[in-house]
Amino acid sequence: MTQLPDLEQLLTDPVVAALARAEETAWFGAGPVDTIEGIKASGIDPELIAAARERFNRFAPWFAERFADTRATHGILESPLVGIPDLQEELGRRFGTVLPGKLWLKRDDSLPVSGSIKARGGIHEVLEVAERLATEAGIMGPGDDARVLMTPAAQEVLSAHGIAVGSTGNLGLSIGIVASELGFNTTVHMSLDARAWKKDLLRSRGVTVVEHAGNFSDAVEAGRKTADEDPSVWFVDDEASLSLFAGYSVAGSRLAGQLKALDITVDAQHPLIVHLPCGVGGGPGGVTFGLKEAFGDAVHCVFSEPTHSPCMSLGVRTGLHDAISVQDIGLDGKTAADGLAVGRPSRLVGEHLQQLIDGFVTVTDERMKAFQGLVHDTEGIDIEPSAAAGFAGPWRILENQDYLTAYGLTPEAMANATHIVWATGGSMVPKEEMAAYVAEGQSLIDQVLWS
């Protein structure tokens, strides 16, 4: 671990000082880095995107057979992209600035099987492990239909192995649901304050849920230790897994197909600006990598975090990455956006992908909840708090002329911009809990300071 500088020294940076005060912040890079150079500097092979996409396609028949909500897409796991013009107009009125271009919502909250941005990665790694074990056992060949994993011989192999993960909620849901369906002995390590309904859902599927008094990092470390002690258990490491990363990255090429189908142009004069919710950073990092591979310099990615848990912003800003946690600057790491309640960021993303990320925005819990209420009132869409983190981003960009100038986002280009807020989580929330979310959000709409 890198030796931490003196806290007083860290706080001489005005952004770090604002983060330490749990204030809303927005900061951006000094200028763009060429995408080709940025991908090369990351050290991550873009071929992993194609490999993950092919794996999802190989497993499509299995998904169509095992999960009814995938039958309409013949087992392909993808979420809709929807325009939200009424919300765009209402937010423009409340922020006091009309947002040029068009605002869209990428609805990973309704992704089949397990609705969240984390689902692609978690599911992909489980599929990769199952495929490897079946291949090593001589049960599955390169071109075989993945439904071979439903045979007694395959089940005997998979049931002799375990999958373990540490999660704040949504990653654990995706891994637990799919791993248990494949026949793995599955264990999800979660913090005590993770949503009870997520734990109950996992347990109902035969998943062992182990609760920890500490935070996300404690749950991850406990899961890693348990797996290290048992060679039959595969640990899914949300802080450093390339397999998770590969699964997330598939979203880039999928989004490219959706935009093409909608006749939406993406180039220098028609920029694509994507606002991604960020916890440990693996999900938004993988999506960013996939988007950059698909759109190059024409896409701009901004990470959004809760003010009490801005671990990626802190790690990148200080250059310390996973050697610093939000607790080191006096924050408690607690937030209603449980999927984003992470104190220490992923080094894989912070250190290797920072050149591909335009900037970072932090948002209070109260604002996220107010966004929830507005999304419900204007568009009739219900999401959980973490899914609302990105809605401040488009207006924070408009406030920063230095960023707009440095990245070539001229008024003419912004008039043609496609803004996408990436949602995560919502469709699986129990109706009673969602109703409470919405009611609280509606009560905060007029209390939040918008301008």
Between helices 365-379 and 85-95, what is the axis angle to 10°?
130
pLDDT, tens only, 99-133: 999 999 999 999 999 999 999 999 999 999 999 99
**Largest Cα–Cα distance in the chain?**
63
> pLDDT band for position 291 (50/70/90)?
very high
CA distance linking residue 427 with residue 439, whole number of Å: 17
CA distance linking residue 389 with residue 99, whole number of Å: 17
The pTM for the full model equals 0.95
Other Cβ atoms within 10 Å of 366 Cβ, number: 16
Other Cβ atoms within 10 Å of 59 Cβ, number: 27
pLDDT, tens only, 128-181: 999 999 999 999 998 788 999 999 999 999 999 999 998 877 899 999 999 999
Question: Which spans in 323-418 are helix H?
Answer: 347-353, 365-379, 393-398, 401-406, 411-415
pLDDT, tens only, 15-72: 999 999 999 999 999 999 999 999 999 999 999 999 999 999 999 999 999 999 999 9
Domain ranges for the chain: 7-114+245-444, 119-242
Same fold, 7-114+245-444 and 119-242: yes
pLDDT, tens only, 380-423: 999 999 999 999 999 999 999 999 999 999 999 999 999 999 99
Between 191 and 303, name the one with better pLDDT: 303
| Three-class DSSP category at 140 | coil
* 192 phi, psi to nearest 5 deg: -60, -30
HSE-CB for 131 with a 13 A CA cutoff: 22
CATH for 7-114+245-444 is: 3.40.50.1100
Tokens matching residue 197: 């309904």
Helices H / strands E in the chain, number of each: 19, 11
Express as a percent the part of the chain with pLDDT over 70.
Answer: 99
CA distance linking residue 333 with residue 325, whole number of Å: 9
CATH for 119-242 is: 3.40.50.1100
Closest CA to 366 of 83, 116, 27, 22: 22
* pLDDT at 421 (0 to 100): 98
CB 328 within 8 A of CB 312: no
* pLDDT at 220 (0 to 100): 79
